């Protein structure tokens, strides 16, 4: 009996040793093999694609510690397959209520920035899809206005001597509290420069957004459009920028709330940089807010690209005050200054006919397609419900545009109707407005006039496109 009991105990001990010792080791080894398998990599890729709504490539994955992944050779692509973002390394720290991304280097152009904005916009609008907060730290953020679609070399981190590249750090937070969700973007190291977009959701859940082919929502399984007339919640945008940023980035941030600001600022040129403040609210499909600031490196050629006229040169636009209510301008003050450049004779003619500017001593009646060189341009513009006022700064004797020391254009004598500004965007020899998409848009946003209508517009419409010495001018300056 003693021998049998010893054998039984020995057998039992061996079984316990195998179960307690070897099986966990085998399970751990199998888990390690699984974590380094292609299947695990593909599972991570699919999870990332579901989150981003865009195709994602991951070269390799490293498990630094439980909950912390290091991904290498990552590429985010559009639905057409072109590269949007190239990330050599990214660390992902996962917890129950937060996803924290640490990106050492990130290079962006306008297409990549738009894709990131669409992801952030989807995060704001789709709490069911994005249930966790996101915190993103980018150590070196490179911005370049250049870049070719699908060119991965252009999306790589540029060399230090690349002149069109700007470098700074970024900190992005996507957080939620109840029905309020917010995206906050600031520079690193911490400074006063910050932009916040906050959305208070309506009582019922919102369907996902739909957008272009590169939109995350467009590639999401649930991509139904918003019902016509449904509430989109209340958006609030606040921003303070002291360090000049490319207007493309600022406009893209505004699109988080569905603002059309991106299209408006695109006419300033890809090199334009802006700084200032903005406070805006979007509710019941209407925008209201205040803004002020300055925009440097304004491209006059880009500004006139949609017009039937042409100008070239680089200018600076100062905005002391800009106020709008219910999708319309309430009051706008603009100061435009430009160095030497060129302006078409047709635009000079249009300024005299539509805006009431007076020809200066250097003015010559030439063919509309001819270009005139100018030494400098300076004008102050004020738009409100009372109309449009164009004046020259002090010390210029009323001259808006000068060439060879003489005035090309002199300021108008009187205030004119603000809709005359839309005439400049109408093709030559057509009805003034709305004869083009640009003129129709201007009419839709310009302040509603509180002045009684006059018959002056009919005579001015008939004379559009003709040089001033041939045009039938209004009978008096009071009619402008």
Where do the domains of the chain lie?
Answer: 41-217+232-255, 285-480
pLDDT exceeds cutoff 70 at 174:
yes
Q: What is the mean pLDDT of residues 180-201?
A: 89
* pLDDT tens readout for residues 225-245: 333 333 568 999 999 999 888
pLDDT of residue 432: 59
* pLDDT tens readout for residues 139-156: 999 887 665 454 555 555
Question: How is residue 167 written in tokens?
Answer: 């470098």
pLDDT of residue 172: 94
* pLDDT tens readout for residues 268-324: 888 899 999 999 999 888 889 999 999 999 999 998 888 888 899 999 999 999 999
Q: What is the mean pLDDT of residues 405-431?
A: 84
pLDDT of residue 158: 52
């Amino acid at each position: 009996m003693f021998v049998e009991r010893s054998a039984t105990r020995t057998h039992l001990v061996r079984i316990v040793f195998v179960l307690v010792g070897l099986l966990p080791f085998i399970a751990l080894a199998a888990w390690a093999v699984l974590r380094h398998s292609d299947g695990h990599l593909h599972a991570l890729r699919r999870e990332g694609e579901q989150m981003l709504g865009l195709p994602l490539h991951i070269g390799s994955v490293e498990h630094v510690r439980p909950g912390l992944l290091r991904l290498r050779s990552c590429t985010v692509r559009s639905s057409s397959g072109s590269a949007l973002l190239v990330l050599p390394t990214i660390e992902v720290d996962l917890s129950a209520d937060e996803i924290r991304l640490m990106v050492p280097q990130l290079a962006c152009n306008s297409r990549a920035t738009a894709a990131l904005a669409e992801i952030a916009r989807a995060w704001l609008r789709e709490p069911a899809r994005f249930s966790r907060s996101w915190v993103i730290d980018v150590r070196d953020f490179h911005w370049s206005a250049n870049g070719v679609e699908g060119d991965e070399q252009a999306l790589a981190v540029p060399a230090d001597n690349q002149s069109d590249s700007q470098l700074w750090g970024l900190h992005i937070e996507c957080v939620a509290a109840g029905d309020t969700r917010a995206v906050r973007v600031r520079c690193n190291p911490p400074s006063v420069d910050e932009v916040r977009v906050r959305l208070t959701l309506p009582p019922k859940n919102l369907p996902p957004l739909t957008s272009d082919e590169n939109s995350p929502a467009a590639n999401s399984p649930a991509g139904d459009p918003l019902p016509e007339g449904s509430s989109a919640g209340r958006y609030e945008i606040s921003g303070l920028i002291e360090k000049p940023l490319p207007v493309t980035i600022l406009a893209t941030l505004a699109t988080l709330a569905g603002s059309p600001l991106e299209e408006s600022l695109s006419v300033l040129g890809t090199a334009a940089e802006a700084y200032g403040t903005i406070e805006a609210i979007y509710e019941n499909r209407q925008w209201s807010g205040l803004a002020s600031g300055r925009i440097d490196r304004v491209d006059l050629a880009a500004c006139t690209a949609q017009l039937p006229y042409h100008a070239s040169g680089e200018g600076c636009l100062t905005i002391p005050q800009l106020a709008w209510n219910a999708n319309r301008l309430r009051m706008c003050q603009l100061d435009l200054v430009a160095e030497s450049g060129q302006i078409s004779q047709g635009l000079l003619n249009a300024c005299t006919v539509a805006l009431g500017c007076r020809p200066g001593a250097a003015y010559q009646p030439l063919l509309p397609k001819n270009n005139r060189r100018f030494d400098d341009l300076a004008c102050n513009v004020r738009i409100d419900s009372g109309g449009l006022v164009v004046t020259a700064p002090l010390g210029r004797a009323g001259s808006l545009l000068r060439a060879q020391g003489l005035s090309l254009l002199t300021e108008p004598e009187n205030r004119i109707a603000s809709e005359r500004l839309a005439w400049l965007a109408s093709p030559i020899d057509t009805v003034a407005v709305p004869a083009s998409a640009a003129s129709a848009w201007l009419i839709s946003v310009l302040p509603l006039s509180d002045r009684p209508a006059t018959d002056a517009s009919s005579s001015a419409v008939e004379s559009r496109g003709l040089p001033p010495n041939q045009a039938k001018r209004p009978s008096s300056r009071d009619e402008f």
